[in-house]
């Protein structure tokens, strides 16, 4: 009998095993070990009260309360990240964008530089990188330490334990839940985190679906749309709660999409059996706060930020160029918006939004500033915007620009939130996917699959809304 025939026969026998057989084997091994321990080991009587570890596990790994606790805990992490980053982001924006940008212009004014050079470097490259630093640094500096503290405490293995059954039914690996959670800070970091999965098939599933975790570059778009469009539908006292609920709903929709796409991949191009692994829950231990801060800020936050800044600089240059270079008495941006407008209408969006996503592939953080700049310069210029200069406006001003100059409706806002969830990864993540897979095929799939879903979902939403008379 050849080696291949033995493997084929083994695979057929494995297919005939009843569902849950592997889990029963592992459970029987641990049960036997526990029975042997009870008959062979004598422990001192510490009273009838169970140890703290066991009490925590009863709650954190419960079939019902485990998921409820997990949802509340991660909601708290996201809320703390979003609310805690608002102040520092505003401060950095004031220093780098408001004052830094004007100071650099003042320094460059006496120099013999052509206007296009100072415009390209200061209004394009510098302003885009300043936006990325202001938007990305505070959330990552909060999210990564919190995530690492949960990891050091021993909670993340409990998350994998809770979600293992869901991911196993989807044909994926239980550890994918950990890389998915890491993706909420940065998708590039989430892709790197898939190294904890040994199976190449299941690791590819985790890599391809990690983009459905809303990274911190997409939070500003979701929060802004939830605040000025969704929250505005509720009474003022409930506006903040409704806005936050809409953002969290999109995040949980990302989890659902992750499971559905994982299942579809496991039944088609990445068919195979879910890996069996025994997850031994580590004991709870006090986190080492200072080491966690150093690891999170240096090894994760600053490295990811550096990659994003490198990618954002050329994106800013492109935004400035297409806004200032004219062809046939119109800017390149105006021509591109005209070409993209029909597709944007089908998707319930517009050409400006699609162009902003194209030029912001290197960095999602510059999408909203780019949309505001293009809307004001290509339409009614309500706030004296300059060509190619990204805008930072207050909430009321932003609502005025989008609704009056841009013609936005509730459908536009809802579909932008959906498209923000379901669109191609940023260039930093695409580069990371390539580094992790070394495969043009899977890098292409991971890049194009999300945007194909985004087109389908937004087109369906727009069609239903128009047929129902909601738009």
What is the model's pLDDT at position 330? 85
Q: What pLDDT shows up at residue 211? A: 94
**Which tokens in the block code for residue 187?**
């998708």
222-226, 318-322, 457-461, range with greatest mean pLDDT = 457-461
**Which of 265-274, 391-400, 457-466 is least confident?**
391-400
CB 213 within 8 A of CB 254: yes
pLDDT of residue 277: 65
Q: What average pLDDT does the segment 450-454 reach?
A: 96
Q: What does pLDDT average to over the chain?
A: 82
Give tens-digit pLDDT for 76-97: 777 777 677 778 877 888 888 7
Structure-token pair, residue 144: 């990564």
In this predicted model, which residue has the larger pLDDT, 415 or 131?
415
Q: What pLDDT is stored for residue 397 in this prediction?
A: 67
- For residues 17 and 273, what is the distance between their CA atoms, to the nearest angstrom? 12
E strand or H helix that includes residue 327:
strand 326-327
* DSSP-assigned states of every residue in 342-405: HHHHHTTS-HHHHHHHHHTTT-GGGHHHHHHHHHHHHS--TT-PPTT------HHHHHHIIIII
pLDDT value of residue 45: 58
Q: What pLDDT sits at residue 341?
A: 95
Sign of the alpha-carbon torsion through 29, 35, 41, 43: positive
- Higher-confidence residue of 11 and 33: namely 33
Query: 79: helix, coil or strand?
Result: helix
Alpha-carbon dihedral 162, 164, 170, 172, rounded to 10 degrees: 140
pLDDT at 342: 96
pLDDT of residue 431 exceeding 60: yes
Residue 156 is predicted with a pLDDT of 77
The whole-number pLDDT of residue 55 equals 83
- Residue 176, classified by CB atoms within 10 Å of its CB into exposed (0-12), middle (13-18) or buried (19+), is buried
Distance spanning both ends of the chain, measured CA to CA:
67
- In angstroms, rounded to a whole number, what is the distance separating the alpha carbons of residues 354 and 200? 34
**CA separation for the pair 261, 109 (Å, rounded):** 53
pLDDT at 24 over 80: no
278, pLDDT greater than 70: no
Q: What pLDDT is stored for residue 279 in this prediction?
A: 67
- The predicted structure's pLDDT at residue 388: 55
pLDDT of res. 350: 94
Q: Are 411 and 349 in contact (CB under 8 A)?
A: no
Considering only CA atoms, give the Rg of the chain.
Answer: 25
Percent of the chain topping pLDDT 90: 24
* Separation CA 229–CA 402 (nearest Å): 10
**Most confident listed range (143-152, 304-313, 352-361, 412-421):** 412-421
Q: What is the DSSP letter of 274?
A: P
Between CA 108 and CA 86 the distance in angstroms is 31
Task: Please determine, for residue 305, whether its predicted confidence score (pLDDT) is greater than 80.
Answer: no
Per-residue pLDDT, averaged over 144-150, amounts to 82
**Would you say residue 42 has pLDDT above 80?**
no
DSSP conformation class of 19: T
Q: Which pLDDT value is given to residue 104?
A: 87
Nearest to 339 by CA among 21, 264, 14, 327: 327
From the CB of residue 30, how many other CB atoms can be counted at a distance below 10 Å?
Answer: 11
Q: Residue 187 above 80 pLDDT?
A: yes
Confidence band (pLDDT; 50, 70, 90) for 124? confident
Look at residue 262 in the predicted model and tell me its pLDDT: 95
User: Which residues sit opposite 331 in a β-bridge?
Assistant: 326
CA distance 248 to 78: 9
Whether the predicted pLDDT of 320 surpasses 90: no
pLDDT above 60 (res 353): yes
- Of residues 74 and 149, which shows the higher confidence score? 149
Cα torsion for 465, 401, 238, 66, to the nearest 10°?
70
- Between CA 165 and CA 325 the distance in angstroms is 55
Count of Cβ atoms closer than 10 Å to residue 352 Cβ: 26
Are the C-beta atoms of residues 321 and 124 closer than 8 Å to each other? yes
Give the pLDDT confidence of 107-121 residue by residue, as tens digits. Answer: 888 888 888 888 888
**Its pTM surpasses 0.85:** no
Predicted pLDDT at 63: 84
Confidence bin at 186 (pLDDT 50/70/90): confident
Other CB atoms within a 10 A radius of the CB of residue 388 amount to: 26
* Alpha carbons 317 and 314: distance in angstroms, whole number: 5
Provide the Cα torsion 448, 344, 314, 87; round to 10°. -100
Identify the residue with better confidence: 388 or 118: 118
Above 60 in pLDDT, residue 385? no
**Which of 12, 15, 7, 21 lies closest to 273 in space, CA to CA?**
15
Q: Give the H/E segment covering residue 253.
A: helix 239-267
Report whether pLDDT(419) > 90: yes
The Cα 426–Cα 222 span in angstroms is 16
The answer to whether residue 414 scores a pLDDT higher than 90 is yes
Confidence category of residue 29, pLDDT binned at 50, 70, 90: confident
Asked if 193 and 182 count as a contact pair (C-beta separation under 8 A), the reply is: yes
Please give the pLDDT value at position 391: 56
Q: Which of 40-44, 53-57, 426-430 has the lowest mean pLDDT?
A: 40-44
């Amino acid at each position: 009998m050849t080696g291949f025939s033995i493997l084929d026969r083994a695979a057929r026998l494995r297919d005939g095993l009843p569902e849950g057989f592997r889990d029963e084997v592992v459970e029987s091994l641990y049960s036997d070990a526990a029975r042997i321990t009870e008959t062979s080991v004598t422990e001192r009587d510490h009273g009838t009260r169970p140890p703290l570890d066991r009490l925590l596990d009863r709650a954190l790994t419960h079939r019902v309360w485990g998921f409820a606790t997990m949802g509340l805990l991660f909601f708290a992490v996201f809320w703390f990240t979003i609310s805690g980053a608002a102040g520092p982001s505003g401060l950095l924006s004031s220093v780098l964008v408001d004052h830094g940008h004007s100071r650099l212009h003042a320094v460059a004014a006496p120099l013999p530089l052509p206007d296009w050079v100072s415009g390209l470097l200061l209004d394009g490259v510098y302003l885009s990188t300043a936006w990325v630093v202001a938007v990305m640094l505070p959330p990552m500096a909060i999210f990564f330490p919190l995530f690492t503290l949960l990891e050091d405490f021993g909670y993340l293995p409990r998350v994998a334990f809770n979600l293992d059954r869901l991911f196993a039914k989807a044909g994926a690996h239980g550890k994918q839940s950990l890389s998915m959670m890491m993706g909420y800070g940065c998708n590039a970091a989430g892709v790197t985190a898939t190294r904890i999965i040994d199976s190449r098939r299941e690791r590819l599933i985790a890599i391809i679906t990690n983009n459905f975790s809303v990274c911190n570059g997409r939070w500003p778009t979701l929060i802004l749309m939830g605040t000025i469009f969704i929250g505005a539908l509720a009474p003022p006292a409930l506006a903040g709660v409704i806005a936050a609920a809409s953002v969290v709903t999109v995040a949980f929709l990302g989890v659902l999409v992750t499971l559905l796409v994982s299942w579809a991949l496991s039944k088609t191009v990445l068919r195979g059996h879910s890996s069996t692994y025994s997850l031994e829950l580590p004991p709870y231990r006090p986190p080492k706060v200072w080491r966690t801060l150093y690891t999170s800020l240096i090894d994760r936050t600053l490295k990811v930020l550096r990659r994003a800044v490198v990618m954002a600089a050329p994106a800013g240059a492109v935004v400035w160029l297409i806004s200032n270079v004219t062809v046939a008495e119109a800017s390149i941006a105006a021509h591109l918006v005209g070409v993209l407008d029909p597709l944007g209408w089908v998707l319930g969006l517009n050409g400006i939004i699609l162009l902003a996503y194209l030029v912001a592939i290197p960095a999602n953080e510059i999408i909203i500033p780019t949309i505001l700049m293009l809307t004001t310069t290509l339409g009614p210029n309500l706030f004296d915007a300059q060509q190619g200069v990204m805008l930072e406006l207050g909430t009321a001003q932003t609502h005025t620009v989008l609704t009056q100059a841009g013609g936005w409706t509730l459908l536009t806002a809802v579909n932008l939130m959906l498209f923000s969830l379901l669109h191609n990864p940023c260039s930093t993540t695409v580069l990371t996917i390539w580094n992790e897979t070394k495969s043009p095929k899977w890098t292409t799939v991971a890049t194009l699959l999300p945007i194909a879903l985004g087109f389908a979902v937004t087109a369906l939403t727009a069609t239903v809304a128009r047929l129902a008379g909601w738009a």
